[in-house]
Chains A and B, each alone.
Chain A
Amino acid sequence: MCGIAGIARSEPSGVEADSLACMAAALRHRGPDGYGFFAGARVGLAHVRLSIIDLQRGAQPLGNEDGRLLIVYNGEVYNYRELRPTLERLGHLFGSDSDTEVLVHAYEEWGPAMLDRLNGQFAFAIYDRRNESLFLARDRFGVRPLFYTKRGGTLYFASEVKALFATGEVDAAPDYTGLDEVFTLWAARPPRTVFQGIAALEPGCWALWQNGALHVQRYYELHYPEARDEPPDALDRLDDLMRTGVDLRLRADVPVGGYLSGGLDSSITCVLGAAASPYALRTFSVTFDDPRFDESAYQRAVAGQLHSQHAVQPIGGEAVARVFPDVIWHTETPLVRTAPAPMYLLSRLTREGGIKVVLTGEGADELFLGYDLFKETVVREFCLRQPASRVRPRLFDRLYPYLALGRRGEFWQRFFLEAGALDDPLFSHLPRIRLTSRIKDFYASAMRQALAAWDAEAALRDSLPPAFPRWSRLNRAAYLEMVTLLGPYLLSSQGDRMALAHGVEGRFPFLDHRLFEFAAALPARSKLRGLREKDVLRRWAASILPPVVRDRSKQPYRAPDTPAFFAPGRPDYIGELLRPASLRDTGVFDPEPVGGLVRRCQAGLAAGARESQALVAVLSTQLWHQQFFRARRRITPLPLEGADVLLSDEASGVTDGTMRMEMTR
């Protein structure tokens, strides 16, 4: 995996190589294996490389035959071997075995329509030097990030926001509506970010910059053409999609490992990966000191079946508190959960173990209705159809059997039953939204004033696609989960950013778009049968998984929250950032109620989700503000003389029909 960045000016006033070197330095963790630049009169491109495919010849920026097109690219297009013969037949000449070069020629041949042919996870930029345009694109589900901002007549883009600031030409200011979305939905919803004027290119979209104007277009929509009955060949098709999806994601010139949570999904990807990989699969897990979060018995069962070399990262509260500042530096956004922190430590363990590509099980819960939220939606709907029933609400107790005493019974049921009306488009998500929104009780008055009439729930309702009302309630829930949580939070804060913090690339077999389209067309009962989640996946996996894993119910991935920050010997930053003066300086949360929250946390009283989320929100906002506004980390530009590729308009000239690269190393 890699990092990309660039600058496109509307006038040919020149892009300084030093600016690009600063952008690349800010992204160096994403690509520690090499870097390269193109510094032209109008456009500059930067690339940091994590070399995975064609280790010798895959350096970037990379051009086509005549140097007209230049690409910087982050990600993988898994079907590049299948696309290449078609392009060769059409007359394209290849100088490497990399998937990067396939993209350049595909764009040359098909333009933006190339995206429909790609199976992968990617964000890239292609500069067309003949018509002075810059083409940006992002994969269908948002596995790889791409941010941009327009300042004056100039477009800046990068894999991470910190690279935009590193130019010294982009100033940082909070976007209060973006922050409010974090404290409503767990993450800002693309294109909005938590930084004013900085946009995330939406998943499934491309953008074209030409003559100082940016045109953004969607090329992939989520559809749910639900069938009445499960096709008779559903299990065969699922088998083919799962196996080919994993096979494609093993394509690499380095060994591919596997993240193993011990749940159904990562167990499947590890079992298939072990069967198809030319290497002995190595597996990596987090274990928790707290038995409520720990799944190590299941991890051992799968690792034992695979005979994998299994490595474990133990997580206690102290570790979460210690790495939390670095976690926020990489997520670039406040959080409401600490769950990314263990993933940050896991990627470090993985990288130290010599593995830089891992398969993960992300996406299965969204495709096959694995989350409790989906069951909750069904039960709430069932209860609200007969509001007088005293029997129906007892289903809630069955829904959350792992919760402690006191979270069962009437009080617990009433919370769900009173969370929202059946005709609300956000019905499925209202319990989570309402609970998360309690963070806003702690807002400073300045924050309330900045938000004025803004309403994050209303903005989400207004953004829903025209087909949304025609989908079943469960498919609406699945869609909302994809666009509010999977892309902006799970794949970003918990996925890409934590893995790439240590130069590890995650690969997601469940997010093969062919598998998504297969799952979206299945009847709901194939996925959620009664209250049994991921039914079709379980039926298919019955023969490949240990029974102990196959038959277990979903356990949400959680990490220690509140107690992590109040244990003896906690890091000094916590007390510093929770001081009233520090809170006032940030201006998002009111020091007085936060003081009450801190006292309750110190007394061990803040055990519920409401206060736990508030504490994580306050602390992460303080860390975010400190690191991006008050005392931004100093960036030392990467030395130009160390670049694998250093191109300029002259050095990559189109005049003689061949592109010359100045290879400096």
Chain B
Amino acid sequence: MSEILERTRTYVRDNFLYMRPDFLLGDDDPLLAKGVIDSMGVLELLSFLETEFGVSVPDEEVTVANLGSLSAIARFVAAKVLRTEAA
């Protein structure tokens, strides 16, 4: 899970925080409330998660609980990867 977290953190920093190099983003910080990701950004993030980790995310799973912070994303993706591997 820590690898998923690190790769997602790097992706978010390079794509959504490149204009704010001093921005401190904690693993549990809310991505939406802190203005890191907007609605178009969610689409980009989904595309990244699907290609990078080989998971599929249907619309109903696009929620703050699943994608609201770096740690939430890591938990969500790790669980999906596990389920995919188990299947």
Whether B10 is near chain A, meaning CB under 8 Å from some CB there, is: no
Instruction: Return the chain A residue nearest B67 by Cβ.
Output: A411
Establish whether residues B39 and A407, one from each chain, have CB atoms under 8 Å apart when the complex forms. Answer: yes
A405, B62: Cα distance in complex, Å: 11
If A608-B38, A610-B38, A610-B40 touch, whether A409 touches B62 (CB-CB below 8 Å) is: yes
Whether B63 is near chain A, meaning CB under 8 Å from some CB there, is: yes
Residue interface mask B37-62, A partner, CB < 8 A = 1:
11111111010000000000001001
Instruction: Return the chain B residue nearest A606 by Cβ.
Output: B40
A interface: dominant SS: helix
Report the contact-size class of chain A (Cβ under 8 Å from the partner). Answer: 20 to 34
Please tell me which one of the listed residues A406, A438, A441, A442 contacts residue B46 in the complex, with CB atoms under 8 A apart: A406
B35 to chain A, nearest CB (A): 7
If A405-B59, A407-B40 touch, whether A418 touches B19 (CB-CB below 8 Å) is: no
A607 to chain B, nearest CB (A): 6
Residue interface mask A427-455, B partner, CB < 8 A = 1:
00000001100100110000000000000
Stretch at the interface among A55-63, A141-149, A593-601: A593-601
Establish whether residues A411 and B19, one from each chain, have CB atoms under 8 Å apart when the complex forms. Answer: no
A441, B21: Cα distance in complex, Å: 10
Contacts of A596 in B (CB 8 A): 18-19
B51 to chain A, nearest CB (A): 13
Chain B residues 20 to 38 lying within 8 A of chain A, measured CB to CB, are 20-21, 32-33, 35, 37-38
If A442-B19, A597-B19 touch, whether A406 touches B39 (CB-CB below 8 Å) is: yes
Please tell me which one of the listed residues A406, A442, A614 contacts residue B42 in the complex, with CB atoms under 8 A apart: A406
Instruction: Return the chain B residue nearest A443 by Cβ.
Output: B19
Query: What number of A-B contacts does a CB cutoff of 8 Å give?
Result: 64
Establish whether residues B18 and A411, one from each chain, have CB atoms under 8 Å apart when the complex forms. Answer: no
Report the contact-size class of chain B (Cβ under 8 Å from the partner). Answer: 20 to 34
Contacts of A542 in B (CB 8 A): none
Establish whether residues A609 and B40, one from each chain, have CB atoms under 8 Å apart when the complex forms. Answer: yes
A614, B18: Cα distance in complex, Å: 13
A498, B37: Cα distance in complex, Å: 35
If A411-B32, A411-B62, A414-B64 touch, whether A607 touches B18 (CB-CB below 8 Å) is: no
- Chain A residues with CB under 8 Å of chain B are 404-407, 409-412, 414-415, 418, 434-435, 438, 441-442, 592-593, 596-597, 600, 605, 607-610, 614
Report 30 cross-chain contacts, Cβ distance below 8 Å, ordered by A residue. Answer: A406-B42, A406-B46, A406-B62, A409-B62, A410-B63, A410-B64, A411-B32, A411-B37, A411-B64, A411-B67, A415-B38, A415-B39, A418-B32, A434-B35, A435-B38, A438-B35, A441-B19, A441-B20, A442-B19, A592-B21, A593-B20, A596-B19, A600-B18, A605-B44, A608-B38, A608-B40, A608-B41, A609-B40, A610-B38, A614-B19
- Chain B residues with CB under 8 Å of chain A are 15, 18-21, 32-33, 35, 37-44, 46, 59, 62-64, 67
